[in-house]
Amino acid sequence: MDTHAAGSIRARNVFTAEHEMFREQVRRFVEREIVPHHRDWERTGLVPRELWKKAGAQGLLCTMVAEEYGGGGGDFGHAAVVMEELARAGASGVAFQLHSDIIVPYVSAYASEERKRDWLPRMASGEMIGAIAMTEPGMGSDLKAVRTRAVRDGDHWVINGSKTFISNGQNAGLVIVVCKTDPEAGRRGISLIGVEEGTPGFSRGRNLEKIGMHAQDTSELFFEDVRVPAGNLLGEENGGFRHLMHQLPQERLIIALRAGVVMETMLEKTIAYTKERQVFGHSVFDFQVHRFKLAQAKAEIAMYRVYLDDCIARHMRGELSGEDAAAAKLLGTEMQNRLLDDFLQMHGGYGYMAEFDIGRAWTDARVGRIYGGSSEVMREIIARTL
């Protein structure tokens, strides 16, 4: 069946009727609980934990987690619906997708049964918010350069180190720490270990001030002789790099998915604005230079939507390759930055005002070319398949 997602400029068939019914529920929640408050959260730099609990109660978190662990028992289509509706509303600070579809999969795939039964229900309810601590000062995208250490001491791991640029860092109740358990082995000596808030020696630094995504808390984290049970290891000891590589295609698809919806939404808003805004006695839309740019943007976005929906469909079948996810992220984030700059220009001075959606979308979009692997890293991944 053909359906229309919010902001879409063409018919789509990747979602089922069940997905679209869920979309209506998500959209109502976003419009009621998020849209009226998001500007205030941007000013305070934090989304309140109460929102997470409300979302959990409505089944908007952990949609792909099995029902026996408190999740929705759905598929990636349900997760994509949540992401699309948040992107359509410009709710860049509400990191449900980071929690549910980037962090939680590590717990679902690699945690022990005991930890899954402890952590997953709390993550599905919004009581426990997740973060993953990879990046360190000066490290960039090079995981081999991780300096945070975890040393086995009997039935515990003892962790020392620091992390930076950690999304959900202030709100996180569970942090998956990427650390070295065999410092001489490079990437083959990396492990993933869960650390809960309140653990002695684990502390949060300042909430970092970013140029965009102002409502999403992003923090420094510090680990000083942090002792956690050995059972908090996720997956195999020294197998962390392999686990990260297995999960990264979904993370990159999520970033691409957001870029696609933001471009579609901002295109529609820019067309409407240029038809209303008057310059020299004519609407901005009347000038051929702007009409042609909007026409070109519509053609490019429509083409990208076809590829993106094909990636979503293949991911739902378990067939999405790492290089295709990298291509989707590369194309979407690069195109997003270029087109949003054009759209902002068409808004004139108002486009530079924070109260206009296009201005906030423009600043929020810039990080897409950096996080989840930079555009340069995406090109390298694709180049290896040539």
Listing DSSP states for 49-113 in one string gives HHHHHHHHHTT-S-TTS-GGGTS----HHHHHHHHHHHHHTT-TT--HHHIIIIIHHHHHHHS-H
State how far the Cα of 316 lies from the Cα of 77, in Å rounded to an integer: 7
Is the alpha carbon torsion for 134, 333, 365, 10 positive or negative? negative
Q: What kind and span of H or E run contains 219? A: strand 218-229
Is residue 106 within 8 A of residue 234, CB to CB? The reply is yes
In terms of Cα–Cα distance, which of 70, 80, 71, 67 is closest to 22?
A: 80
> Active site residue: 84, 85, 136, 251, which one?
251
The answer to whether residue 251 is catalytic is: yes
Strand partners, 204: 221
The residue to which tokens 């005002």 are assigned: 353
What size, in residues, is the chain?
386
Active site residues: 251
